Amino acid sequence: MLLVIDVGNTQIVLGLFEGERLVRDWRVRTDHERTTDEWGLLLKNLFELDGIDMDAVTAVALSSVVPPAIHALRRASTRYFGVEPLVVGPGIKTGLSIRYENPREVGADRVVNAVAAFARVNGPCIVVDFGTATTFDCIAGDGGYLGGAIAPGIGISLEALVTRAAKLPKVEIARPRAALGRNTEESMRSGVLYGYVALVDGLVERLIAEMDEELPVAVIATGGLAGVIAAESRTIQTVDGNLTIEGLRLIHLRNQPRE
Q: Which of 109, 129, 137, 142 is catalytic?
A: 109
Give the Cα separation of 192 and 93 in Å (integer). 39
Give the Cα separation of 139 and 145 in Å (integer). 5
201 a catalytic residue: no
Beta-carbon contacts of 115 under 8 Å, excluding residues fewer than 6 positions away, are 94, 95, 96, 247, 250, 251
CB 47 within 8 A of CB 40: no
Q: Which residues are catalytic?
A: 109
